[in-house]
């Protein structure tokens, strides 16, 4: 069962999300928080698998709460930031905070449910097309940092292929099919990529790829 904590100061939004998620046989809402402080506290005590984090909340906003939860290290909840995508600085802050995934507030119910399952499985970025667009926009507002490309342990050609595929939002299965290798081989490559880049998950690996100009920023 996937345990979800809802963090949003709008009671109607929380009620709608709870009704939607609790109707799924493999998802249950274990708590609701109305501000960032409560979100952090409840994430510690309730131990959810995913925190659906609104950005604009009183008493410690969602970005600050996200940064604190991400800083716990493993094991920790995955943080799914809900954004309207119309405020660039909010997207930037969420990326910098290390959010595990992003989803538009106008997403369909199926997109939200699939996104939560995908995030828990660790198989792909949440809503790949949206995430890629967010990260590309984020990178475009910053000067590329090619110095980061000079890794102590450079990526192999195959690892580079896998990172490009991650940046395109492909799942493990899709990458395996594209490269004609087993899914377990892809997972091994991903683990090595994360180690070499010094990042904690796939989202941050893709952030690195955009920030350095490793992938096309257009």
Is residue 34 very low, low, confident or very high in pLDDT (cuts 50, 70, 90)? very high
Tell me: do 117 and 170 sit in the same domain.
no
> DSSP strand E in 23-167: where?
27-33, 50-54, 78-83, 101-104
Lowest mean pLDDT among 47-56, 168-177, 185-194: 168-177
Does the pTM of the predicted model rise above 0.85? no
Residue 175 lies in domain = 146-212
Highest mean pLDDT (candidates 79-93, 110-124, 189-203) = 189-203
Q: Please report whether residue 49 resides in a domain.
A: yes
Tell me: do 154 and 94 sit in the same domain.
no
Q: Please report whether residue 126 resides in a domain.
A: no
Tell me: do 99 and 28 sit in the same domain.
yes
pLDDT digits (tens, 9 = 90+) for 74-96: 789 999 988 776 555 666 777 77
Tell me: do 101 and 178 sit in the same domain.
no
CA–CA gap between residue 121 and residue 185 (Å, rounded):
17
Task: Tell which wins on pLDDT, 199 or 2.
Answer: 2
Tell me: do 110 and 45 sit in the same domain.
yes
Tell me: do 103 and 60 sit in the same domain.
yes
Lowest mean pLDDT among 50-59, 145-154, 190-199: 145-154
Is residue 111 very low, low, confident or very high in pLDDT (cuts 50, 70, 90)? confident
CA–CA gap between residue 110 and residue 73 (Å, rounded):
29
Tell me: do 9 and 79 sit in the same domain.
yes
């Amino acid at each position: 069962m996937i345990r979800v904590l809802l963090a949003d100061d709008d009671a109607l939004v929380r009620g709608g999300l709870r009704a939607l998620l609790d109707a799924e046989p493999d998802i249950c809402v274990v708590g609701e928080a109305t501000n960032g402080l409560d979100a952090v506290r409840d994430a510690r005590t309730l131990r959810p698998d995913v925190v659906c984090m609104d950005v604009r909340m009183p008493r410690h906003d969602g970005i600050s709460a996200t940064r604190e939860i991400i800083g716990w290290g493993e094991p920790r909840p995955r943080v799914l930031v809900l954004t309207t995508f119309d405020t660039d600085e909010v997207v930037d802050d969420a990326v910098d905070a290390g959010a595990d995934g992003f989803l538009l507030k106008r997403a369909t119910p199926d997109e939200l449910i699939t996104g939560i399952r995908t995030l828990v499985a660790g198989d792909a970025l949440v809503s790949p097309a949206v995430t890629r667009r967010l990260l590309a926009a984020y990178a475009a507002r910053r000067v590329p940092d090619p110095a980061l490309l000079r890794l102590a342990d450079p990526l192999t050609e195959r690892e580079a292929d896998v990172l490009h595929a991650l940046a395109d939002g492909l799942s493990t299965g899709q990458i395996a099919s594209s490269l004609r290798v087993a899914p377990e081989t892809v997972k091994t490559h991903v683990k090595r990529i994360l180690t070499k880049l010094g990042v904690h998950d796939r989202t941050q690996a893709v952030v690195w790829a955009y920030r350095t100009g490793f992938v096309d920023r257009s």
